[in-house]
A and B are shown apart, each in its own frame.
Chain A
Amino acid sequence: MEPVVVRVENVSKRYRIGALHPAYQTFREALVEAVASRLKRLGRGDDDDGAATLWALDGVSLEVRRGEILGIVGRNGAGKSTLLKILSRITRPSRGSVEIYGRVGSLLEVGTGFHPDLTGRENIFLNGAILGMRKAEIKEKFDEIVAFSELERFVETPVKFYSSGMYVRLAFSVAAHLEPEILIMDEVLAVGDMAFQQKCLDKMNEVRRQGRTIFFVSHNLPAVTRLCKRAVLLDGGRLVAEGPPQEVVNRYLSGSWKAGAERVWEGADAPGDAVVRLRGARVLDGRGEPAAALDVRRPFSVEVTYDVLEGGHALTPAFEFFNDEGTEVFTTHDTGEAWRRRPRPRGRYASAVRVPGNLLAEGTLIAHVSVMSHFPSTILHARAKNAVAFQVLDEPGGVSARGDYAGPMPGVVRPLLEWDTRADETVDGRQ
């Protein structure tokens, strides 16, 4: 077992809400406030005016061993950034303590300390030094950094003339060559074009192989699942889940979408009208088990259960699938022969749609469920938004559209298509 290199013990961080908003204080305000709060304290006998404070972190404890990549997920305002700031020693905890063994490098922002008037070369040195690199170290890696950024021609140009893409590339290239024992990263992979993101992910994999410890905050849940061996979920400043990334991510999803792989509606609150009431919805893997994480290569089903309260209607159940960016990926409804245009008797029904493997891109999917009648005219009887949510995962190295490529693959679908490459005589002959 590797030694523990970071130990966070019961860490809390309190912010005065008042102090978060006004940009700054003046002497006069401070005087008035000091007198007022002292009077208030006298009156109540404690120094914790609860209403004016916010606990950004509340009793968080965790241990990280050397070589671990710890994913940190949670909604905005859950305390992720505050935790990273405490670990990076930018701010101190209000309570608790943190013990760290090793040099810490933190990337909370890309290009910290870049100066627009300085050239690319000058900024590499400045930024490197700010991130904690030695001058000799920067000199040694300078060519490598420039090559990584692909900005050889612009090294002597002030960065204010760079495009934002170039700026980010240069900044990330410096960061990527940082070699601390402990690396703290906040959502920095969310920048740059796809090809560059790929390079960065490769670099991160390399860093992981060198046995460095990484704290990784990201909203890119598939990346968290793929890169990390362990994850924690923060909610309202508390650590609410810890474990294998898939479990933690599922917990996060079910919390944030108020939906998981299974949904049950009971009693009169169930969506529907006098004709149809929804009873449940679930995502089932290939073996028919409810599952919140699905392999991109395997088929799965989504099922809706509903009661038909009034006979004589021809009903069509339907699903709409969205990704976590709100893009509608596809819609589907029952076109099977069994009940098409056929009035249904009262009773309970379960309709399932089978989604083939190698169709969807990896990521989070959320499904809306509805039951309607199309014939003779369209009537929406029941509809539940965000009924179920699940993750499609893609591992490199398998028989999927990903192949051996580990980087981001944009697009809402990821079909596995047939490729054919021939060694062509004419290609050979051309040289």
Chain B
Amino acid sequence: MSSKTSETTEGRPVEEAAPAEAEDVRAPLAGLPHALIRAEGAGVQFNLRDLWAYRELLYFLTWRDIKVRYKQTLMGVAWVIIQPLMLMVVFTLVFNRFVGAGGGAIPYPLFAYAGLLLWTFFSVSVSSGMNSLIGNTSLVTKVYFPRVFIPAAAVGAGLVDLSVGAVLLVPLGAYYGVGVSPALLLLPGFVLLAAALALSVGMMVAALTVRYRDLRHALPFLLQLWMFASPVIYPVGVVPERWRWLLAANPMTGVLEGFRASLAGTPLDWGLVAVPLAAAPLLLAIAFYVFRSLEDTFADII
């Protein structure tokens, strides 16, 4: 900037004190947000401050996803309960026989409903997260905001569905005689862990789908496999001892087990829970890095 005193003082309105030095020309800009946009090769810019500045948008995008999902449906939000409920009925009829005592301390229908509720939240969040960027092309190519909010809103909407679906746990629990215990206080923690895992996977698949649409074909199938590899409809107890470690390596195992244990007040297997506790923050950091490093190319290739 080449502004000299002589230029800066001439005929300026009074509300701005005439700057005395070239440096001071920037003084009126002091309170303004400052952005430096660097070239693609200059590395990943995290723009963490933007996440905060645009935080309300996360709320609006979540709100939109929920609103839109049940517009022009007869039963509206009731679908959130109907889906896992029907699955629970089916699995109870089919599986209860094979699994026998099934859920151990927890009656099988309650066991299955809780598992299906949490798993549905996870898989719906991930798969709608995957489609979220490519389904919002005009947002990506026409306006700036942290794109992370798009898959995050998918998880947010899933959380709302989960809370609605969780209402049914109250009559179910009462019917099967499960009492209220202090372990219930841990419940939000496990929901949070599931949300963190869903967000991590959702962010990564969303970003990769922008470039490689293969995932759209592969992911539904992979999620199905993942469900059967997680103790959603069967308890950890039915898995042979020598395969347990494989089951435990799946972070969703600890989340599902912990979720149900805190619900029913049964003892927690901290060994299982430790896996998602360690994996969630790590995955989240990796996913955010992957997402951010691909984010700047979204508008160019979507």
Contact = CB atoms under 8 A, between A and B. Distances in A.
Interface of A: 1, 3-5, 15, 19, 24-27, 30, 63, 66, 85-86, 88-104, 106, 108-109, 112-113, 115, 117-118, 122, 125-126, 129-132, 134-135, 158, 181
B71 A117 contact: yes
Contacts of A118: 64, 67-68, 71
B3 interface: yes
Given A19-B300, A25-B212, A122-B67, A89 B32 contact: no
A89 B212 contact: no
A101 B29 contact: yes
A1 B8 contact: yes
19 contacts: A4-B1, A19-B300, A19-B301, A24-B211, A26-B214, A66-B29, A89-B35, A90-B140, A90-B142, A93-B38, A95-B39, A97-B42, A98-B37, A100-B36, A100-B37, A106-B144, A108-B143, A113-B138, A126-B63
Given A4-B1, A113-B138, A134-B56, A88 B214 contact: no
Nearest to B138: A112
B212 A30 contact: yes
A17 to B, nearest CB: 12
A106 B34 contact: no
A109 B138 contact: yes
B139 interface: yes
Given A24-B211, A130-B60, A15 B300 contact: yes
B205 to A, nearest CB: 13
Contacts of A106: 142-144
A131 B211 CA distance: 26
A148 B267 CA distance: 61
B60 A125 contact: yes
A102 B39 contact: no
B209 to A, nearest CB: 9
B241 interface: no
Interface of B is mostly: helix
Contacts of A1: 3, 7-8, 10, 25
A93 B138 CA distance: 20
A26 B212 contact: yes
A132 B146 CA distance: 11
| 4 nearest A-B pairs in the assembled complex, by CB-CB distance | A129-B60, A98-B37, A89-B144, A117-B71
A241 B158 CA distance: 52
Nearest to B45: A92
A27 B214 contact: yes
B144 A93 contact: no
A358 B33 CA distance: 48
A135 B56 contact: yes
B211 A3 contact: no
A53 to B, nearest CB: 12
Contacts of A113: 136, 138-139, 143
Nearest to B35: A100
Which of A91, A95, A104, A132 is most buried by chain B, counting CB atoms within 10 A of its CB? Answer: A91
A92 B35 contact: no
Given A1-B3, A117-B72, A122-B67, A94 B56 contact: no
Nearest to B302: A24
A121 to B, nearest CB: 11
B244 interface: no
Nearest to A86: B37
